[in-house]
Structure 1
Amino acid sequence: AEDAVSEATPIFVDAVKGITFADAKTILLGADDSATTYLQNKTSTQLYDKFNPVIKSSFSKVGADQIWSNLITKYNALPLTNDVNPDLTDYVTQEALKGVYTMIAVEEKEIRTDFSARTTTLLKKVFALQD
């Protein structure tokens, strides 16, 4: 996943550039994770498509994907167990994306609630209106 992170920046930049006035109002007046939710809705498919092949390549090199699939297929056949995704690449890609958005949400909440976290002039101006 670390190898794919550099691919994420232009995707996020495009999402931010695409914010409409209505989006900005919803984000500003919304919940502590409104910007994160916006970004997740606008970027998750593209990020998945960028992260997934990189992760798949890494797992294929060491055979982890096949070992996982064999193990989890047997596990899922056991009674009284909750099924686990047998596609390791998909599972790790999904979890990596959850981690990305969780980190963004934490930072967003801090910016919204802690004046000192507003480190740019733009953040100070925008959230001064909200305060």
Structure 2
Amino acid sequence: MKKYTYSLLLWFLLAAGLTTSSVYAQKLDEVLQSVLGADQIAEGLKEALKVGTENVVQIVSKLDGFYKSPDIKIFFPDKLKAAEKLLRTAGFGLLVEEFELSMNRAAERSASEAKDLFWDAITQMTIQDAEKILKGKDNEATLYFQEKTSARLQEIFSPIVTTVMAEVGVTRLYQDLETKVNTFVPLGLFTDFDLNQYVTEKALEGLFLKLSEEERKIRNDPKARITELLQKVFNKE
């Protein structure tokens, strides 16, 4: 097996929590060549990806998974910046921040629904898919998930986000903000803005960004973390 196998099998295996010795890491290519066939390698990759995607979903769906992660935090919509500026100037900055917090809470609670879809995509992965991922770009696996799950995630996330936004107060806060803005200047910005679509898209962008970061990091990490399925491979010298 070529060097690509080693580099990609490092991705997402971090979540399993098992650290190999540097000797094992150096011998990975040799071991896989002598022990595993293409189908076994594909199955091992599937297991690794299951562990990794579950780990990433857990990270973003926990409390403050979005809100305290600057790179995926959902901010006041750019299209409503004029309204945000007016609200802050009028002394409603805390209300704006409460609204931002509620959007992030909606994203965090919705993100947990992604795991099953990722796992379905992994189950459908062919040997050819696995080879493409192993030999591909630093974010090849993330691209695979985007291709296989984005449309379905949009479909599933939208009603969930709508429900959760109502539960955590996003909808109410949004209406409060609109009322206050219209008191000063009836801009009409809120009427034409699809808040549900905005939160849904930002939640998915954040999820895929974290997947991409994890993949890129582990591809270049000199240490190997292995799943239980691959433990027998590393035990063979």
Assess same fold via TM > 0.5. Answer: yes
CA contact (8 A) 2:138 2:216 kept: yes
Aligned twin of 1:94: 201
Partner SS state of residue 225, structure 2: coil
Q: Normalized per residue, which structure has more helix?
A: 1
Aligned twin of 2:132: 26
Counterparts of 1:101 and 1:50 in 2: how far apart (Å)?
Answer: 16
Instruction: Summarize the Cα distance change of 1:69–1:113 in structure 2 as closer, same or farther, 3 Å threshold.
Output: farther
Aligned twin of 1:39: 145
CA contact (8 A) 1:33 1:105 kept: yes
Partner SS state of residue 74, structure 1: coil
Which consecutive unaligned segments of at least 5 residues does structure 1 have?
Answer: 77-84, 126-131
CA contact (8 A) 2:161 2:200 kept: yes
Counterparts of 1:65 and 1:33 in 2: how far apart (Å)?
Answer: 37
Equivalences for 1:1-131 in 2 at 5 Å?
A: 1-60=107-166, 62=169, 63-64=171-172, 67=175, 74-75=188-189, 86-116=193-223, 118-121=224-227, 122=230
Displacement of 1:98 after TM fit? Answer: 0.5
Q: Which has the larger radius of gyration?
A: 2
Aligned residues: 115
The aligned amino acid for 2:195 is L
What's the C-alpha RMSD, in Å, of the aligned pairs?
A: 2.9
Q: TM-score, normalised by structure 2?
A: 0.42
CA contact (8 A) 2:111 2:203 kept: no
Displacement of 1:16 after TM fit? Answer: 0.8
Instruction: Summarize the Cα distance change of 1:65–1:22 in structure 2 as closer, same or farther, 3 Å threshold.
Output: farther
Q: Percent of counterpart pairs with the same letter? A: 35
Structure 1 runs, 4 residues or longer, greater than 4 Å off? 68-71
Q: TM-score, normalised by structure 1?
A: 0.72
Displacement of 1:113 after TM fit? Answer: 0.7
Higher RCO, 1 or 2 (CA under 8 Å, sep at least 6)?
A: 2
